[in-house]
Structure 1
Amino acid sequence: MAYKIIRHVVANSRKADDLDLLDGIVCPKLLQKMRDSVSSASVTERNLGLEVHDIYCEVIQPKIRLEAFEKMDEKSMSWKDAFEHRNRTLQRGEWMQIKVRFLALENVFLNAASGSRTSIRSSMNPSTWTFQGKVWNVDTSATQLDSEEPTFYPRVQNPDLSWQLIAIEYW
């Protein structure tokens, strides 16, 4: 549903303020990029619309993170650093990031001043979206964090889990 809603709002926005509907659903940094894109669109581009017909998706990378927006390149880390980060994450990780690969059949159309629409093209559009949500709250103290011994902290599930789109990759 997120894919369909976000693509519809962005594609059918005529001015940057139209994207206020996505506040809280899309992270502020990505939302600003979307606003900039809408602001710099030509008149022809602003008269284009989009309908999403079919969506195929698969979850490809669920990961637990210590911090929001954390990006790790585990491939370039030393084995020791990767192992230590993994242990810290298992002990007190709070955030989950999920990458979802989408393949969507989309119809682009031109909005006429009269209110009619003319279909321009249909295409299959592949992309990968990264979502993030805080899955639990962890009760930690400064003394426990400095300890060399592995400590698993009490976790309280976050019942108000709300996912936020933090990145889009087109391929």
Structure 2
Amino acid sequence: MADIHVEEFYKDAAIALVQLYGAFPRRINLFVEDIAGPDEPDEFGLHSKRHMACFGALLWLAEEGLLRYVDTIRQEALDQAVLTRDAFIRLSAPAPETLTREFGIPEETAAGNLPPSVQEDLSTHIHLILRALRGGNSARISQIMQATFFADRGNY
């Protein structure tokens, strides 16, 4: 079992990537509160550890080349954020078959009831991330995000 802060990192990264993918190619402001939930700074104006961990996850995504942004809005948001080319391609790419079998297309629709183009779309990394977030299972989110982060970039 992963540490809770690592599971929160994967969930924060997943939510951020989904938001950016949904807006692509538009630039958007990516607010920490929209990802990690509301936060009340303490009497000194400092944010909670949870808020700062989410903000750190957003900065890490940028440092690792998955998103770009123009500036930060204090420690509350990334201004004018957008997916990088590599992130867009990675999220749009089909996930490994073992992962899609385990977490992807529901059995009732996988039995050849859908056109191949729809089945292909349902097997992408972004679709698996969306399904995992809807399901709310931290272990599943972590597994799918690991597969997305470690996907072989040579296949794109």
| Same fold per superposition (TM over 0.5) | no
User: Normalising by the residue count of structure 1, what TM-score does the alignment of the two structures yield?
Assistant: 0.24
User: Greater Rg, structure 1 or structure 2?
Assistant: 1
Structure holding more helix per residue: 2
Structure possessing the higher relative contact order (Cα contacts under 8 Å, 6 or more residues apart): 2
Could you say which structure has the higher strand fraction?
A: 1
